[in-house]
Amino acid sequence: MQLEKYIIDEHNNELIDKHRRNLEQVAEGINGLDAVLKKLAAFNIAIPSWALGTGGTRFGRFSGGGEPRSLEEKIEDVGVIHALNRSSNSISLHIPWDIPENASSIKALASQLGLHFDAVNSNTFQDQPDQKHSYKYGSLHHVDKAVREQAIQHNIEVINYGVQLGSKALSVWLSDGSNFPGQLNFRKAFQNTLESLQTIYDALPDDWKVWIEYKPFEPNFYSTTIGDWGQSLLLANKLGGKAATLVDLGHHLPNTNIEQIVSLLLMEGKLAGFHFNDSKYGDDDLTVGSINPYQLFLIFNELVEGMDTRGMNHSTAIGWMIDASHNVKDPIEDLLQSVQAIKIAYAQALIVDKKALTDAQNNNDVALAQEILQDAYRTDVRPLIAEASLRMGGALNPISTFRRLKVRDQLIKERGTQTVATGL
Ligand code: AOS
Ligand code: ZN
Ligand code: ZN
Ligand code: ZN
């Protein structure tokens, strides 16, 4: 299924008068409005292929109907999202949940929908039916070299798929760790991981990156071999310039100051990018901005300040991805909400009065510094997001348009009600 632009325009026409009034109101208080709108229009966030089915919690799968049954249909769904919000022009594949067997036709389908392929993800946290060695006790860190070799080969295979599709990065998330004290020699586990990653690193094409994700716990509950940003950064520094640290927002212990981590990784040139989501307890993978939108804003505030200081292009310098999904929402609506939340936080960060904030910091005027940040955070920037979308040919209100056009009903008609997509 493909959404035609004229159908989106029709719905926009019903909303346009109200939109113009709202925009006028907020525009008044914003310096350099046009520059802000241009940045918002250029901003895109990759959609994870595994979020398009109603997977969500790992403990049960409940079909919502009309879910993608193949990689082609996942790409079509991202096409729908992108047609609506004009901010989701890429998809991130997870191998072997996705097998791009016929790369050239997959690539052609994507580019016909204005999409390209973001980072490819490897999977050495599950055993596949045909594999020789088990990952029960880990993969790249495993005590047995044969298991490490198998996991290395899988990562190289993922790179090869990615090359055919035009991806430029490999994301590695390891579930490697231990459940009980004494189970592992931490140092040897780390060294094995480094050695394995080095072999994968050496197989990267010149213009590729490897992004190293960290996570404090789950599925292992005593130690994780790449457990925090320090361990990821240590690996990335040892590997070299093509390696960097990927920050998944849900991969922190409660109340961790993620914005500070982001600021320092950026300073070091080692921030690979993000897996955006939100959480209340752990790696909940909830819709971005659903629990703590202020934290998201504070992260974007560091990003904008840090990127501007380093002269980085906001939209292309790092990887912007979502890693969220749940089974009580329509996955497309859920992803549309996540992208909107990210764009709202980004817009709020763009309108922070940077000069005034720097002055307040230099004068130790703590109250004023807070006022400046919260002034931006409490601005309703939604008309700016809507305007940027409109200018790019998208919907003023992507979710209402999705509902209005009864997209899910059409997908159910096409694909049926009992569809459970592959993935976690
Ligand atoms: C797992 O917790 C990580 O967030 C990974 O990014 C993983 O590959 C992804 O969530 C798919 O399960
Ligand atoms: Zn993740
Ligand atoms: Zn995760
Ligand atoms: Zn997560």
d(CA 401, CA 424): 29
How does residue 417 score in pLDDT terms, banded at 50, 70 and 90?
A: confident
Q: Hey, whose CA ends up nearest to atom 1 of ligand 1? A: 173
**Which of 18-27, 177-186, 393-402, 411-420 shows the lowest per-residue confidence on average (mean pLDDT)?**
411-420
Residue 98 lies in a domain: yes
* Closest ligand relative to 48 C-alpha: 1
* CA-250 nearest atom, ligand 1: 4
Q: What is the mean pLDDT of residues 294-321?
A: 98
d(CA 330, CA 60): 16
Domain, as residue range, for 178: 5-415
Residue 420 lies in a domain: no
The pLDDT tens digits for 208-242 are 999 999 999 999 999 999 999 999 999 999 999 99
For residue 66, give the nearest of 324, 330, 322, 328 by alpha carbon.
Answer: 330
For residue 295, give the nearest of 263, 266, 335, 255 by alpha carbon.
Answer: 255
User: What pLDDT does 205 receive?
Assistant: 98
Residue 146 lies in a domain: yes
For residue 389, give the nearest of 49, 88, 21, 74 by alpha carbon.
Answer: 88
* CA-123 nearest atom, ligand 1: 8
- Probe residue for ligand 1, chosen from 92, 118, 135, 275 as the CB with the greatest number of ligand atoms within 8 Å: 275
Contacts of 279 (CB under 8 A, 6+ apart): 249, 250, 285, 286, 291
* CA-50 nearest atom, ligand 1: 11
Q: What is the mean pLDDT of residues 323-331?
A: 90
The pLDDT tens digits for 331-351 are 999 999 999 999 999 999 999
Residue 424 lies in a domain: no
**Which of 9-18, 45-54, 74-83, 158-167 shows the lowest per-residue confidence on average (mean pLDDT)?**
45-54
The pLDDT tens digits for 353-381 are 999 999 999 999 999 999 999 999 999 99
Average pLDDT, the chain: 96
Q: Output DSSP code: residue 286.
A: B
Rg of the chain over Cα atoms, rounded to whole angstroms, equals: 22
Task: Please provide the distance, in angstroms rounded to a whole number, between the alpha carbons at the two ends of the chain.
Answer: 24
Residue 200 lies in a domain: yes
pTM over 0.95: yes
* Residue 420 scores a pLDDT above 70: no
Length of the chain: 424
Q: Hey, whose CA ends up nearest to atom 7 of ligand 1? A: 173
How many other CB atoms sit within 10 Å of the CB of residue 257?
12
Tell me phi and psi for residue 249, to 5 degrees: -60, -30
User: Exposed (0-12), middle (13-18) or buried (19+): which is 182, by Cβ within 10 Å?
Assistant: exposed
User: What pLDDT does 63 receive?
Assistant: 78
Residue 150 lies in a domain: yes
How does residue 54 score in pLDDT terms, banded at 50, 70 and 90?
A: low
Residue 422 lies in a domain: no
Residue 421 lies in a domain: no
Number of domains in the chain: 1
The pLDDT tens digits for 378-412 are 999 999 999 999 999 999 999 999 999 999 999 99
How many other CB atoms sit within 10 Å of the CB of residue 173?
22
Q: What is the DSSP string of 48-104?
A: EGGGSSS--STT-----SS---SHHHHHHHHHHHHHHHS---EEE-BTTTS--SSHH
Q: What is the mean pLDDT of residues 30-45?
A: 97
CATH code of residue 152: 3.20.20.150
